[in-house]
Structure 1
Amino acid sequence: MTIILIIAGILLAAVVLQAKEPPVTSRDIERMLPVWKLEQDVILSRNGDMTIAFDVTLPEIFTLSNNEYNALHATWLKAIRVLPVNTVLHKQDIFIRAAYKAKFTEDQDFMQRSSELFFNERPYLEHSCYLMITLKSQDRKAASSAFSNLLRKTLVSPEAVNGKLVQQLLDSAGQFRRILSDGGLVGLRRLTTEEISGTPEAPGLLERYLFLQGAEDKPKIKDIVFKPEWKIGENFLQLYTLADTEDLPGSCSPHINYERYSTDKSKFSIGFASPAGQLLPVNHIYNQYMVISDTPKTLKRLEARRRRLQSLSAYSRENAISRDAVSDFLNEAISQGRQPIKAHFSLLCWTDKRDELKDLRNQAASALAGMEAVPHLEVSGAPQLWWAGLPGNEGDLPENECFETFAEQATCLLNMETAYRSSNSPFGIRLGDRLTGVPLHVDISDEPMKRGITTNRNKIVVGGSGSGKSMFMCHMLRSYVQQGAHCVVVDVGRSYDGLCELVGGYYFAYTEDNPIRFNPFYIAPGDVLDTEKKESIKTLLVALWKQGDESFRRSEYVAISNALQSYYSFLGKYLEIFPCFNTFYEFLQEHFVRELEDDKVKDRDFDIANFLYVLRPFYHQGEFDYLLNATENLDILQQPFIVFELDNIAGHGILFSVVTLIIAELFISKMRKLKGIRKVIVIEEAWKAIARAGMADFIKYLYKTVRKYFGEAITVTQEVDDLVSSPVIKEAIINNADVKIFLDLKKFQNKFEPLQATMGMTEKGRDLVLSINRANEPGRNYREVYIELGNQDMKVYRYEPSRFEYYAFTTEQPEKVKVRQSTEKHGDMRKGIAALVEDEKNGKI
């Protein structure tokens, strides 16, 4: 269906022509408009040009290695080679400053709302990338800066368009799209007629360019004035061009070093044109044009030029130099099979504040200088160049504003990167864009498995002291619990007590006044004594009875099994008896002894007197009578968040062995009984103590098995030497953890090679890790975190907590004391933190 564009009517009201000729009429302007109509998503111009437009998905900035930049460059070259002669490739990157808008919903908790408020109005660059492929009419006249269709009154007849040319354009664009997409780094999506022309609710591609609008803006008509100063609506515009070979960089490549993130041990790379793209923090449009010429004709023309210069070289040294340059160009084109093209690049910047124009010019010039180009502010030719940037009007690009080059060099000047993108998965955590900190939704568990990047959800987290490791882990676990996960944390150092109180979890820690308590004998209402529960209690009782070097007979194991079965049958008859170790011990003394006598079980098969004597310290008024007789925090299977603090018992043989057995039994029960619920176990620095206590096999079992039960195991450490030297880490954890998370490791950069080898890290990963926190934004309190998924997807994010999150998760002792005091004063942790934040805002603390 043919759709006549409304752009003509819009420009009738918008364009103010500053010409000395008599005013043109509405009909004259309508005839001058280059865009004629849209048919089957193809833009047709009045000159007979046809244009297909694509929405382009680019790689995220700071995520590509040198090899990937080179591969992307080669892919673009392959795609460009399939375009026919007389084609204009126009890549248009639109960067518009925007501000993050907080999103509040009824199901958000205290911390989520505080985070939304914290990031509200955070500025960032909204980036859209479009690609236009224009096949110029065969009989159209070449445009120049002095003669464009903005002023031309005689246009090529629309009848010049024929079906063969349309099919040629569609075929070439299809091949171009396929080659780029097969490269795996760039995605192209064909724009529809509605997306090009716009709707009453949303601006289309044409309106966005003409009136400098964002993708989320409402359509609005603006005046366009070129003299005495260039304005579109309230915006003041400046145009910089790369159109003269004297202004171009002396050399170029697909990537350049980014010094802010580089070290003497690593070189951090970005795209060659990134300074004019995502790194330029102003409103701007980066237009990139490549005109595909007839190679034989071009070479023939240049050869004729070389001969003319040769004949004139005796009269001028400049002619001799020019002759040699043309000769070198021709030699390279023929010997290496280069494709000569014409290219033009321009940077259109704008601001709505006149007093910002000087700073705008400085930033734009600095960006071009970062590409080693000479900034050239275009004045006289600006209207024609702006007009040629209108999608569908690429054929009107002035030829005298283009320079001869090869596709290899021109492709280096393409903007290759975009901003970070959020995951599409419903599950994830909130992190921040590395450049601006604007919030992103990032899934590092489920989406990578669906994409085939990882085969499990296990993680290893490494960060030095003070790197923000504990705060990041608290943030991640709070997000997990809020999304329905069950988390078990084995900690040393009380890093999670604030989070545990915030989410209403169970916190098991040992102090003299409040020793650690469990009750492995308790069975929640509705639950049953299954085989797994019996086996876990038997294992615990055997561990309490026998030392590691003592022999253990099968008859003893059977006797303990029978004792448990009889005990729970006894509880079923006497419901008033509370299940715990005390009542189990009394049952053994009063009832099970008689059962053994009735069955004539001999002492050599099961010495009940020895069993009761050894376990006496865990019975009423014994040394450890508190340990297995808890009367609160009983239903640990259904509790979503549980912390086991091992700091004060790590050196205690009995307490530590009991606690580690209970932890193992608890998490295995959660794994097997909680169907469809995500299970997470976090082992902090306690993994070293656990491994020494004979639990290395449990860690290995976890990392190899937890995936099958919709779970993930996470090990956290701050000692790099542990990673390099521990066989448990190497064999069990690293080999079975597809997600690697690193925080600040700058102090280890001089001995990073062993860590890199142990972790199987690539050069790209090393450069990213060593760039962490090297150039943080001044005035922002945040830490950067590196996340690697399956040795394939590697990125550095910000973790920037709100002040509410900071006080909830802090591990600094003075601040924890403030939080505790404020909580006691206001009766609730949330109210206490809110009061602290308010006092901080008012300068009281």
Structure 2
Amino acid sequence: MRNTLKAATLEAKFPLLAVEHDCILSKDADITVAFEVELPELYTVTGAEYEAIHAAWCKAIKVLPDYSIVHKQDWFVRERYKPEVQKDDMSFLSRSFERHFNERPFLNHACYLFLTKTTKERSRQQSNWNTLCRGHIVPKEIRDKDAAVKFIEAAEQFERIMNDSGFIRLRRLSSDEITGTATSAGLVEKYFSLSLENTACLQDISLSAAEMRIGDNILCLHTLSDTEDLPGNVATDTRYEKLSTDRSDCRLSFASPVGLLLSCNHIYNQYVLIDNSEENLQRFEKSARNMQSLSRYSRSNQINKEWIDEYLNEAHSYGLTSVRAHFNVMAWSDDREELKHIKNDVGSQLAAMECTPRHNTVDCPTLFWAAMPGNEADFPAEESYYTFIEQAVCFFTGETNYRSSLSPFGIKMVDRLTGKPLHLDISDLPMKRGTITNRNKFILGPSGSGKSFFTNHLTRQYYEQGTHIVLIDTGNSYQGLCEMIRRKTGGKDGIYFTYTDETPIAFNPFYTDDKVFDIEKRESIKTLLLTLWKKDTEPATRAEEVALSNAVSLYIERIKRDNSVEPSFNTFYEFVKTDYRAVLEEKQVREKDFDIAGFLNVLEPYYRGGEYDYLLNSDKQLDLLQKRFIVFEIDAIKDHPILFPVTTIIIMELFINKMRRLKGIRKMILIEEAWKAIASANMASYIKYLYKTVRKFYGEAVVVTQEVDDIIASPIVKESIINNSDCKILLDQRKYMNKFDQIQALLGLTDKEKGQILSINQANDPSRLYKEVWIGLGGTQSAVYATEVSAEEYLAYTTEETEKMEMYALAEKLGGDIEAAIRQLAERRRNKK
């Protein structure tokens, strides 16, 4: 049967002629330069920064010549997360994380900028002379070649101004990215298929008075093309109430409601059309005179005259540039029922900007055609309104989705808005870029904020990427994860130490495999002895420190020379009691400078036969060098004034040994509430030493605490831990809302970071189970992320006693296979839901 429909080919109506030297040339001799735009991440920009971004746009637009068009095009396309489960070396928990997010919908955002140079005649062209309406298009010749060269120079200046702002990055698109290649779709092809996929293919386009279709998708268009539709006032940014509190502000760009906050497939087009400003103002002067002469016939003429006068007064008073502007939201769906909801959503979001929503059915094909990359000069003049650059730029969207780190190492977190997994590097890439100078981390979160859950998630992923981890815990937070690693490795890893009277943690501070005692080892021994000897209230004098250093040095020389002397605290004690006493007497060291009798008396409990003689005289060395996941659970002695600090030092000494000997391997020590025991005046130098030295050995020290009063009250923590932790991680601080000013001052947080932290968990999605966490790097980079995990990961991390007992009992029934037990329990949980 013969097709009687009037159909035209895209080729016949196509307005673009060629892409040469990365410029798009239209058949009407217009030149377009295309850029990919990288915007700041959502919820990370302050009001002052939005103003700086606004100023940069205004400054950049002013360098463009007359009869140029600035077209910013923001794509928001609904996509589904594709899990990465094909990797061979993925662990059971990593694979379960990826499967948990399988097909998770999210809004993908891409932003492009098109700068077009056209002519005076083309800029005044109306929709009835659009290339869609013409029977045929005759290619024109560029007459003013100098104007084209000047425009390219202006476009390069535009790019430099925006990149120098520090907030927005423009990248010039190449010819292949615009036209596409044999293997990937170009920008024009993506536009005609309404897809950001590289495999996009062209669709049939259907135009009618009632609707416009592209393939199966039906378009709906809302326009802002008349001053009557605009709000009375515009601003660079607005307060986002959902994430703001009475003590903090969360700011979003003025146009954010039609950006990421509009959760449907849509393109937001923003146009600034630059005419000759002087000609525009002269035309308005003439129009004002006409209105004045006709004012006696109609009051509306008098009112219009006053409005025109006000516009002219603004322009002349402040030296403003008169331009035309237009904004439209082009949304689509292949389901008519869903399209009704989308129309309502777009309308309500425009109303949130205090604009009058105008659903435009007539101009949809014309505006779709004009928004084609490179065809901006086809924009119909009657769809624009007169304004100034500053007001027009307020309608530019200013933020994008969170971006994943371009680094092979990192942890998996989740976008707080859409729930899409992100790859986040908070150690290596920030160091490489100079954002931070060390990898140390300080984690603060009150009880119940999800602190242990986050640290389990962090350490598990570090472990899976080859990190050697030593944890000092006081609440069995890591028992489940450690047990899982132990059973998975057959006991070769996942070592869990619990302090008991029968099996106390003991070591020998004077033992080394090769009898090499470097400066760090000597300092470590000296600090340990000082801690045992002196109380917090009586710091050692300089003379006592020197005497103790000499004692340690002379003893080390003795054990190096004499193989019959067994290195241990016992033989050190005997050496001080006899040989070193003689040395002091020979030197005539006074008792008030170094009281050797007092020293021996205080340290006697650690000598043979004393109450704690087992602590420092271990005859078996803990072979933990190659063990990659070690947990020391010391809850049983956390209130003991002697055992707790000494045991903590023993563990830290073991970590320092691992740190020194494992070259080129990532190391991490994570200290939960144990830092309280070592945050004494005598231990300050030891903590400072650990925090400053660990960086040089490819390591990181992490301190976790929940009591804000402790960190406020302890100057040692501030000087040693906080100041040497460039990565700060805070969880829900609403419990400390009234004392957050103290925390802000202590941690050196900016008002921007304060606003982000106080927005944690303020507007969580009830359909997802997660808790939010703020991560700040070096005081310059920060954002709030979600800690959302699979049911399998939850069971591995849980600290609930009943859940752990159920898991271990099922594992025993399954022959000790804890992974199988977790898999079964997770499946039960999902089935219940």
TM-score where L is the length of structure 1: 0.88
Match of 1:385 among 335, 345, 367: 367
What letter is aligned with 1:792?
T
Secondary structure, aligned partner of 2:676 = helix
What letter is aligned with 2:20?
E
Match of 1:49 among 30, 33, 45: 30
Kept after mapping to 1: 8 A contact 2:534/2:682: no
C-alpha distance in 2 between matches for 1:85 and 1:303 = 20
What letter is aligned with 1:271?
S
1:796 and 2:777 are equivalent in the alignment: no
Match of 2:675 among 687, 693, 709: 687
5 Å-filtered alignment, 1:258-337, equals 258-337=240-319
Displacement, 1:35? 0.8
Kept after mapping to 2: 8 A contact 1:201/1:219: no
1:424 and 2:406 are equivalent in the alignment: yes
Kept after mapping to 1: 8 A contact 2:107/2:260: yes
What letter is aligned with 1:89?
V
What letter is aligned with 2:261?
L
C-alpha distance in 2 between matches for 1:696 and 1:440 = 38
Match of 2:484 among 502, 524, 529: 502
Indicate how the Cα distance of structure 1 residues 633 and 98 shifts in structure 2: closer, same or farther if over 3 A, else same: farther
Kept after mapping to 2: 8 A contact 1:249/1:371: yes
Residue number in structure 2 paired with 1:93? 74
C-alpha distance after superposition, 1:335-361 (max 9, x if no partner): 001111111111010112222111111
Kept after mapping to 2: 8 A contact 1:458/1:736: yes
1:465 and 2:455 are equivalent in the alignment: no
Indicate how the Cα distance of structure 1 residues 450 and 320 shifts in structure 2: closer, same or farther if over 3 A, else same: same
Indicate how the Cα distance of structure 1 residues 704 and 542 shifts in structure 2: closer, same or farther if over 3 A, else same: closer
Kept after mapping to 2: 8 A contact 1:545/1:611: no
Indicate how the Cα distance of structure 1 residues 357 and 48 shifts in structure 2: closer, same or farther if over 3 A, else same: same
Residue number in structure 2 paired with 1:10? none
What letter is aligned with 1:651?
D
C-alpha distance in 2 between matches for 1:378 and 1:190 = 33
Displacement, 1:386? 0.8
C-alpha distance after superposition, 1:204-253 (max 9, x if no partner): 1111111111234x132211112353211111211110111111122111
Secondary structure, aligned partner of 2:141 = helix
Match of 2:632 among 644, 656, 680: 644
C-alpha distance in 1 between matches for 2:713 and 2:524 = 34
Indicate how the Cα distance of structure 1 residues 352 and 695 shifts in structure 2: closer, same or farther if over 3 A, else same: same
Identity of aligned residues (%): 46
Unpaired stretches in structure 2, ≥5 consecutive residues: 486-492, 590-594
1:483 and 2:465 are equivalent in the alignment: yes
C-alpha distance after superposition, 1:759-796 (max 9, x if no partner): 22111111111100000011211111111112111211
Unpaired stretches in structure 1, ≥5 consecutive residues: 1-15, 572-578
Residue number in structure 1 paired with 2:205? 224
Residue number in structure 2 paired with 1:4? none
Indicate how the Cα distance of structure 1 residues 648 and 360 shifts in structure 2: closer, same or farther if over 3 A, else same: same
Secondary structure, aligned partner of 1:484 = coil
Residue number in structure 2 paired with 1:658? 646
Displacement, 1:60? 0.9
What letter is aligned with 2:255?
A
Aligned positions, number = 805
Displacement, 1:281? 0.8
Indicate how the Cα distance of structure 1 residues 627 and 310 shifts in structure 2: closer, same or farther if over 3 A, else same: same
Residue number in structure 2 paired with 1:7? none
C-alpha distance in 2 between matches for 1:267 and 1:199 = 46
Residue number in structure 1 paired with 2:164? 182
Kept after mapping to 2: 8 A contact 1:502/1:830: yes
Indicate how the Cα distance of structure 1 residues 615 and 386 shifts in structure 2: closer, same or farther if over 3 A, else same: same
C-alpha distance in 1 between matches for 2:206 and 2:385 = 28
5 Å-filtered alignment, 1:233-248, equals 233-248=215-230
Residue number in structure 2 paired with 1:829? 818
C-alpha distance in 2 between matches for 1:532 and 1:434 = 47
TM-score where L is the length of structure 2: 0.89
Indicate how the Cα distance of structure 1 residues 381 and 666 shifts in structure 2: closer, same or farther if over 3 A, else same: same
- The range that moved more, 243-252 or 684-693, is 684-693
Match of 1:348 among 320, 327, 330: 330
C-alpha distance in 2 between matches for 1:757 and 1:540 = 31
Indicate how the Cα distance of structure 1 residues 533 and 61 shifts in structure 2: closer, same or farther if over 3 A, else same: closer
5 Å-filtered alignment, 1:698-709, equals 698-709=686-697
Residue number in structure 2 paired with 1:574? none
Secondary structure, aligned partner of 1:47 = coil
Residue number in structure 2 paired with 1:673? 661
1:516 and 2:516 are equivalent in the alignment: no
Displacement, 1:40? 1.4
Residue number in structure 1 paired with 2:395? 413
Displacement, 1:107? 1.2
What letter is aligned with 1:641?
F
Residue number in structure 1 paired with 2:490? none
C-alpha distance in 1 between matches for 2:435 and 2:780 = 7
Residue number in structure 2 paired with 1:195? 177
C-alpha distance in 2 between matches for 1:492 and 1:543 = 25
C-alpha distance after superposition, 1:455-478 (max 9, x if no partner): 222221111111111111111122
C-alpha distance after superposition, 1:525-559 (max 9, x if no partner): xx555456974896599579967689896686567
Indicate how the Cα distance of structure 1 residues 522 and 119 shifts in structure 2: closer, same or farther if over 3 A, else same: farther
Indicate how the Cα distance of structure 1 residues 702 and 147 shifts in structure 2: closer, same or farther if over 3 A, else same: same
Residue number in structure 1 paired with 2:13? 32
Indicate how the Cα distance of structure 1 residues 733 and 824 shifts in structure 2: closer, same or farther if over 3 A, else same: same
What letter is aligned with 1:170?
I
Displacement, 1:85? 0.4
Match of 1:75 among 44, 52, 56: 56
Displacement, 1:87? 0.5
Residue number in structure 2 paired with 1:120? 102
Secondary structure, aligned partner of 2:689 = helix
C-alpha distance in 1 between matches for 2:202 and 2:302 = 53
C-alpha distance after superposition, 1:641-689 (max 9, x if no partner): 3223232213334423431331232233233332222232222222112
Kept after mapping to 1: 8 A contact 2:606/2:614: no
1:447 and 2:429 are equivalent in the alignment: yes
C-alpha distance in 2 between matches for 1:600 and 1:755 = 51
Indicate how the Cα distance of structure 1 residues 137 and 523 shifts in structure 2: closer, same or farther if over 3 A, else same: same
Residue number in structure 2 paired with 1:357? 339
Residue number in structure 2 paired with 1:11? none
Kept after mapping to 2: 8 A contact 1:49/1:161: no
5 Å-filtered alignment, 1:556-705, equals 557=552, 560-561=555-556, 564-565=559-560, 569-570=563-564, 627=615, 634-692=622-680, 694-705=682-693
Kept after mapping to 1: 8 A contact 2:570/2:607: no
C-alpha distance in 2 between matches for 1:80 and 1:520 = 68
5 Å-filtered alignment, 1:161-180, equals 161-180=143-162
C-alpha distance in 2 between matches for 1:479 and 1:203 = 36
Kept after mapping to 1: 8 A contact 2:515/2:560: no
Indicate how the Cα distance of structure 1 residues 210 and 547 shifts in structure 2: closer, same or farther if over 3 A, else same: closer
C-alpha distance in 2 between matches for 1:278 and 1:479 = 30
Residue number in structure 1 paired with 2:592? none
Displacement, 1:62? 0.8
C-alpha distance in 2 between matches for 1:544 and 1:76 = 60
C-alpha distance in 1 between matches for 2:532 and 2:129 = 98
Kept after mapping to 2: 8 A contact 1:740/1:789: yes
Kept after mapping to 2: 8 A contact 1:244/1:401: yes
Match of 1:736 among 724, 730, 734: 724
Secondary structure, aligned partner of 1:377 = coil
Kept after mapping to 1: 8 A contact 2:229/2:357: yes
- The range that moved more, 132-141 or 360-369, is 132-141
Indicate how the Cα distance of structure 1 residues 210 and 445 shifts in structure 2: closer, same or farther if over 3 A, else same: same
Displacement, 1:615? 6.5
